Amino acid sequence: MTQIPISEIPEEGLPLSYSEDPVELDLAVPGVRFLQAIAVDLVLVKAAPVISVTGGIKASVTCECVRCLSQFQVPLDIPVATQFRPAPAPLPPGEYQMPSEEAEDYYYQDGVVVLDDLVRQEVILAVPFSPQCRADCQGLCPQCGQDLNVGTCACAPPPDPRWAVLREYLKGK
């Protein structure tokens, strides 16, 4: 867990460069495997109660193509520009509207900034939602399972279901 006491952040800022193990961050993303440690390179700057965080996160993941199911590598280069604010006082139960300018901010408690949630959330959001090995991936044949990127198959194209009624009618004649 990467914790930075606010008292240790100098006025000119605190540069941080470290590696984080994906297992320690609990990064369990379906269909994605992390190949190496996540490289974190951030600068923390103190401005009154707000801590500004800028920099980048780099990772390399192996994804499974949603079309052809082949494994391929995706480099993640994630820019970071956010803020940590003091944690608000607990609110009574009910619905509250968060100001839109605070929607992407993080919070710190007891004078300590914990960077794990920031790194975890930024990496999860950067992983492709529907990964494709390439834009023109042909996928698999729906009948025989042949990878159409490697070669063609001998399967006939499936009949268009919109013409099924006409096909049945013509069979009777």
- What does the pLDDT look like over 36-63, one tens digit per residue? 999 999 999 998 788 999 999 999 999 9
Residue 54's pLDDT is 94
Confirm if 36 and 109 have CB atoms less than 8 A apart. Answer: no
Query: Would 92 be classed as within a structural domain?
Result: no
Residue 164's pLDDT is 87
What is this structure's pTM? 0.78
Residues (pLDDT < 50) of the chain are none
Please tell me whether residues 66 and 80 are part of one structural domain. Answer: yes
Tokens of 18: 């470290």
- Which is it for the CA torsion 38, 44, 50, 54, positive or negative? negative
Q: In angstroms, what CA-CA distances link 158 with 79, 142, 143?
A: 46, 9, 8
Where does the chain have alpha helices with state H?
A: 116-126, 164-171
Residue 100's pLDDT is 67
Query: Would 95 be classed as within a structural domain?
Result: no
Query: Would 96 be classed as within a structural domain?
Result: no
Query: Would 55 be classed as within a structural domain?
Result: yes
Residue 154's pLDDT is 87
Range of the structural domain that residue 170 is part of: 138-173
Query: Would 7 be classed as within a structural domain?
Result: yes
Q: In angstroms, what CA-CA distances link 61 with 36, 64, 77, 127, 134?
A: 8, 10, 11, 8, 15
